[in-house]
A and B are shown apart, each in its own frame.
Chain A
Amino acid sequence: QVQLLQSGAEVKKPGSSVKVSCRASGGTFGHSAVSWVRQARGQGLEWTGTITPSLGGITNYAQTLRDRISITADRSTGTIYMQLDRLESEDTGVYYCARGGGSEGIDYWGPGSLVTVSS
Chain B
Amino acid sequence: QSALAQPASVSGSPGQEITISCTGTSSDIGTWTLVSWYQQYPGKAPQLIIYEEIKRPSGVSDRFSGSKSVNTASLTISGLQPEDEADYYCCSYAGNGVWLFGGGTKLTVL
Contacts and interface: CB of A to CB of B under 8 A. Distances in A.
Interface residues of B, number: 25
Number of chain A interface residues as a range: 20 to 34
A17 interface: no
A60 to B, nearest CB: 3
A29 B45 CA distance: 19
B69 interface: no
A99 B38 CA distance: 14
A50 B46 contact: no
Given A44-B89, A45-B101, A104 B47 contact: no
A21 B107 CA distance: 32
15 contacts: A44-B89, A44-B102, A44-B104, A47-B91, A47-B101, A63-B98, A102-B97, A105-B48, A105-B51, A105-B52, A106-B48, A107-B51, A107-B57, A110-B45, A112-B45
Interface of B: 1, 3, 34-36, 38, 45-48, 51-52, 57, 89, 91, 93, 96-104
